[in-house]
Chain A
Amino acid sequence: MLELRNIIHRFPESSWELNIDRFSVSPGEVQGIIGPNGSGKSTLLRISAGILYPLAGNVTLSGNELKKLKRHTIARQVGYLPQELSSEYDFTVEELVRMGRYPHTKGLGILNSTDITVVQQSLEFTGLEDLKKRRLSQLSGGEKKRAFLASVLSQKPGILLLDEPASALDLHRQVHFFRLLRKLAKGKIGVAVVTHDINFASLFCDKLLLLEEGLCLAQGPPEKVLSRGVIQKIYGKDVFLGKHPETGRPTLLPALTDKKT
Chain B
Amino acid sequence: MKTKTIILFGLFFLAVAAITPWIGSETIRVEEVWNFFLGTHNPQSDIFWFQRIPRVLLALLAGGTLALVGACFQVLFRNPLVEPYTLGVSGGSALGAFLAISIPSLWHVWGPFSSVQLLAVAGASASLGLIYSLSRSQQGISIYTLLLAGITVSIICGGGILLLTYISSPNALVVFQRWMMGGVDIVGYKELVALLPLLFPGFFLLFIHANDLNHIALGEEMALGHGVPVKKVQRNIFIGGGLATAAVVSLVGPIGFIGLIIPHSVRRLVGFDQRTVLPCSFLLGGAVLTVCDCVARTVLAPTELPVGIITAIIGGPLFIYLLVSRQWKIR
Contact = CB atoms under 8 A, between A and B. Distances in A.
Nearest to B221: A82
Main secondary structure of the interface of B (DSSP, over half): loop
A89 B267 contact: yes
Interface in B5-23: none
B228 A102 contact: yes
B1 interface: yes
B224 A51 contact: yes
B112 interface: no
Q: Number of contact residues on B: which range applies?
A: 20 to 34
A71 B221 CA distance: 12
A87 B221 contact: no
Given A88-B78, A90-B330, A95-B272, A82 B228 contact: no
B222 interface: yes
A84 B221 contact: yes
A49 B225 contact: yes
Interface string A97-127: 0011011000111100000000000000000
B158 interface: no
Contacts of B75: 88-89
A207 interface: no
Contact of A84 (B78, B219, B224): B219
A75 B267 contact: no
A136 B330 contact: yes
A76 interface: yes
B273 interface: yes
Contacts of B210: 108
Given A51-B221, A80-B221, A88-B75, A99 B1 contact: no
A155 B211 contact: no
Contacts, number: 102
Contacts of B273: 91, 95
B65 to A, nearest CB: 21
Interface in A64-90: 70-76, 78-82, 84-90
B225 A51 contact: yes
Contacts of B314: none
Contacts of A85: 218-219, 222, 331
B52 interface: no
Contacts of A81: 225
Contact of A71 (B218, B219, B228): B228
Nearest to A84: B219
B272 A89 contact: yes
Nearest to B138: A13
B329 A155 contact: no
B215 interface: yes
A102 B274 CA distance: 14
A152 to B, nearest CB: 7
Contact of A152 (B79, B225, B331): B225
B225 A90 contact: no
B111 interface: no
B1 A110 contact: yes
Contacts of A96: 218
B128 to A, nearest CB: 20
27 contacts: A46-B221, A51-B225, A72-B227, A75-B227, A80-B221, A82-B219, A84-B331, A85-B219, A85-B222, A87-B218, A88-B75, A88-B79, A88-B330, A89-B272, A90-B328, A91-B214, A91-B217, A91-B272, A102-B211, A103-B227, A107-B208, A107-B211, A108-B1, A108-B210, A109-B211, A137-B328, A148-B222
Interface of A: 46, 49-51, 70-76, 78-82, 84-91, 95-96, 99-100, 102-103, 107-110, 136-137, 144, 148, 151-152, 155
Interface of B: 1, 75, 78-80, 208, 210-211, 214-215, 217-219, 221-222, 224-229, 267, 272-273, 275, 328-331
Given A85-B331, A91-B272, 12 more contacts: A76-B227, A78-B225, A85-B219, A87-B217, A87-B330, A102-B226, A107-B211, A109-B214, A137-B330, A152-B225, A152-B226, A155-B226
- Which A-B residue pairs are the 5 nearest by beta carbons? A75-B227, A80-B225, A89-B272, A103-B227, A109-B211
